[in-house]
Structure 1
Amino acid sequence: MQGFSRHEKMLLHVCFMVSAFCGGFPAARAEFSLQQPAVVAGPLGQDVLLPCQLLDSQHEKLLNQPVLYWEVDGKQLPFNENKTSSSFNKSIELKEVRWSDGGTYECKLSMRTDRRGSFRLKGNKTTLIVHDTMTFNLSSHHDSLLRCEVTVSQDPGLTLTLTRNGCVVQSSAPSERRAANGTITLSATVHLSGNGQYGCQLRLQDVLITSSSFHSQQAGRYQLQDERRRYSEPWLLYAGLLLVPALVLLAVVAAMLMCR
C-alpha cells in the first residue's frame, strides 16, 4: 500500500474487514446435499415411494453420473423387481410392501466433483412404518365402547388420538400386543357417550400415519331402549282405572234391583 499514510492504511484495513463480515465477498460454497423425509407411512400390500432429493451445487461441477445406494437398518438394499429407483430424484419405490419392509432407510450417492474429488454423500434417514387397515367400531364385549385398533411394523413412539365431534377426548401411548412375526397391534377405547362423529388417528408426533371415523346414531337407540326398560307401560294402572267404573256401575245396578 505504497502512497498511503499510516492512518489511511488502517482505515482501508478496517473497511476490508467490515466488507468481508457483511457479505461484500462471495459466501461459502453451496455443496451437494441429499434430503429425505423423517417418516413415511406405507399401507400393507401397496406401493410406497421413499423420497430422496439431490440438491445441486452452484459452485461444484459434477464429473460423473452418481451411483445410487440405499441402506435399510445399516445393510445395503439390493434393487430388484420389487425395489426400483428413479434416477431423476434418487427416490426408491417399494412394490407391495410387506411387514418385513418396515425399518430405517438411508439414501447414499457415490459421486465425484471438480473440488472434492470422489466421495460418498449421505441422506438424513427415513423411518418407514408399514400398517394395516385401522378398525374403529363398537367393542365386541361392550356395546357402549368404541375400540380403535391397528397393526404396525414397529412403534417408534406412536400415539392414538381419539376425538368426538372434533374435540380430543384421549391422546396417549396405546396399549401394545406383539405378534410372532414382530408386528405390533396398538389399541385404545373410548366411551360412546351419545350421537356424533368419533375419530381415531395414529400419529408419530405431528405426522399423521392413518385414521378412521365412526358416526354414531345407535347411542340414541340404545338410550331409548334403556328408557323403555326403565319406564315400562303401567298396564296394572290401566286395568285398575277401567275396573273402577265397572264396579261402580255394577253397584248402581245392584242397588236399583234391590229397591224394586
Structure 2
Amino acid sequence: MCLYSRDMLKIILSELNHNLIWMKWGWTAWMFLYFMISGTHPLITVHQPPVLTAALGEDLIMPCHLNLSNEEKMTARPVLYWVHTDNEKLWVPSERYKRRVDLLDSDPLSLNKSIRLKNVQLADNGKYLCKVSVTMAGGKSFRMKGNGTLVMVYGNMTFGLTSHNDSLLQCEVNVTQGPGLVLSIFHNECKPQTVDSASGDTDAALPYVTLSETIPLRGGGKYECQLHLNENLIVESIFNYTPPVAGKDEKNILTAHPTTSPESGVAVFPEPWFLYVALLLVPTTILLGLVTVLLINRP
C-alpha cells in the first residue's frame, strides 16, 4: 500500500509554499505600503522572481522589470547593475561571467532588464540582485533594486536498479543547496515506503549536495522519480519495470548457465541423460532392422 498519493503530496507542498510566500513577502509589502503612504519615495519598483532553477549546462533567463508609475518620467536611459551577492558583476560582467551574459532587450530605454545566463554551472548558485539607476524629470536620480533571485542548479538525474541489489530502485540527483527542493519516487501514482533517503554530502567545500532515495521493487508498472521545488515539478525520470515470468525465465537461466558448487567452487554441468538414451537406441534400432530383414527373406 502506498503511503501518499501524488495529489496529497502536491497539497502538502502547496500549503508549505503558501506559508513561505506570506512570510517572505509580508515585510516587503509592509515597506512598500509605508513608502506609498508617506510619499517619501517615488513609485518606482524593480521586480524579480524569488527563486529560479536551472539545469546544469543549460541557459537561464533571469527576469528583471523596472516599473514606473504614470506620474514618473525618465529623462535618461536607466543604468543596469546585475550582481551576485558575493559582489561579482554580471552586467558589465566580471571574469567569471564574461561572454556568458546577454541582455534580452537591447533597447537602452527599455524597462525590461532581464538577462540570459549561458552554460549554467553548479558554482552559479546563489542570490542575484538586479539594480537599476534612473534619472527622472526634475533631475531626481535613484538607484533601485529588486528583492533578489535565488538560483538553484540541478545536475543529471539517475534512476534505475542498484548495482548491488536488483530488487532495489534508486534515484539520485546533484543539486545546489537551497530550501524547498524535494526528491520523491512514485509507483503507479502512489509514494511507496523508502528503504533509504539521504540529503547528501553537506561538505562546505562542495558546490552541491546529492539527493537520493531508494525503494524496493513492488511489482511491475511505471516508477517515476520527481524533483520538486515546493509544489512545482522541476525534472522527472521514468522507469518502466516488467517482472520476470515465474518458472519460464528461471528455467532458461538455469539451462543457459552452469551452476557452481558451493563446496568446491567448480562448475558442475547437468548429466546428459538424453545423449545416453540416444546412444542406447541407435544399436537397438539397427538390430531390430536386421532381424526384420532376415525374417522377411527367410525361405
TM bracket, shorter-chain basis? 0.5 to 0.7
Higher RCO structure (Cα 8 Å, ≥6 apart): 2
Q: 1:170 to 1:121 in 2, by over 3 A?
A: farther
1:190 maps to which residue? 215
**Structure 2 letter corresponding to 1:205:** N
Identity %: 39
Query: Is this contact kept in 1: 2:221–2:241, CA < 8 A?
Result: yes
1:177 maps to which residue? 201
Q: Does 1:99 align with 2:122?
A: yes
Query: What is the TM-score with the length of structure 1 in the denominator?
Result: 0.68
Structure 2 regions of 5+ residues with no counterpart?
Answer: 1-35, 255-299
Q: Does 1:224 align with 2:249?
A: no
Tell me the CA shift for residue 188 of structure 1: 0.7
Q: Does 1:83 align with 2:83?
A: no
Aligned length: 201
1:48 maps to which residue? 60
1:31 maps to which residue? 43
Structure 1 regions of 5+ residues with no counterpart?
Answer: 1-26, 233-260
Query: Is this contact kept in 2: 1:49–1:92, CA < 8 A?
Result: yes
User: 2:217 and 2:86 mapped to 1: Cα distance?
Assistant: 45
Q: Deviations over 1:128-150 (max 9, x none)?
A: 11111111111112111110100
User: 2:233 and 2:138 mapped to 1: Cα distance?
Assistant: 42
Q: 1:226 to 1:158 in 2, by over 3 A?
A: farther
User: 2:163 and 2:248 mapped to 1: Cα distance?
Assistant: 19
User: 2:248 and 2:138 mapped to 1: Cα distance?
Assistant: 80
2:80 maps to which residue? 68
Q: Deviations over 1:35-86 (max 9, x none)?
A: 2122211111121111112223212111211111112124142423111223
User: 2:193 and 2:49 mapped to 1: Cα distance?
Assistant: 28
Q: Deviations over 1:211-243 (max 9, x none)?
A: 2111111xx21x6259968xx9xxxxxxxxxxx
User: 2:81 and 2:172 mapped to 1: Cα distance?
Assistant: 36
2:189 maps to which residue? 166
Q: 1:207 to 1:105 in 2, by over 3 A?
A: farther
Residues 194-213 of structure 1 aligned to structure 2 (within 5 Å): 194-213=219-238
User: 2:135 and 2:54 mapped to 1: Cα distance?
Assistant: 34
Query: What is the TM-score with the length of structure 2 in the denominator?
Result: 0.60
Specify which of 154, 158, 162 is matched with residue 135 of structure 1.
158
Q: Does 1:110 align with 2:133?
A: yes
